[in-house]
C-alpha cells in the first residue's frame, strides 16, 4: 500500500517535471522543426523527381533490367540522403557553435 503510494507520488512529480521541461523546450523545439525540413519528405521528393526524369526516357531505360534499375535508384537515393544528412549535421554544428558564442546561459 505505501509502496504504491510512493510510486504514484514519484510518478506525479516526474510528470510535473517533464511538463515543465517540455514547456521550457517548446520554443527551441519549434525552432528546430521550422529550420530543418522533414527528412522523409525530402527523400520522397527526390524519388518523385527521379521517377519524373526517368519517365521521359522510358524507352531507353526499359533496356536495363528492372532489378538493376531499382538497385541504382536505391543507391542514388542513399547517396543523396547521406549528402543531406552530412550537410544538416554540419549546419547543426555551426548553429551550436554560434549558440555557444552567444552565451544565453
pLDDT, tens only, 20-79: 988 888 888 888 777 776 777 778 888 888 888 777 777 777 888 889 989 999 999 999
| C-alpha–C-alpha distance, residues 61 and 82, integer Å | 25
pLDDT bracket for residue 105 (50, 70, 90)? low
Q: What distances in angstroms separate CA 66 from CA 33, 45, 49, 56, 61, one per listed residue?
A: 37, 21, 18, 16, 9
Alpha helices in the chain (DSSP H): 2-35, 39-55, 58-61, 66-102
pLDDT bracket for residue 1 (50, 70, 90)? confident
Amino acid at each position: 500500500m505505501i509502496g504504491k503510494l510512493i510510486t504514484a507520488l514519484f510518478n506525479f512529480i516526474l510528470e510535473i517535471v517533464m511538463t515543465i521541461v517540455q514547456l521550457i523546450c517548446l520554443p527551441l523545439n519549434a525552432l528546430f522543426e521550422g529550420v530543418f525540413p522533414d527528412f522523409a519528405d525530402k527523400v520522397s521528393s527526390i524519388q518523385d523527381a527521379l521517377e519524373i526524369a526517368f519517365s521521359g526516357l522510358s524507352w531507353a531505360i526499359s533496356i536495363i533490367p528492372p532489378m538493376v534499375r531499382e538497385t541504382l535508384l536505391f543507391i542514388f537515393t542513399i547517396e543523396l540522403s547521406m549528402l543531406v544528412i552530412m550537410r544538416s549535421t554540419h549546419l547543426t554544428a555551426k548553429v551550436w557553435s554560434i549558440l555557444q558564442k552567444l552565451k544565453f546561459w
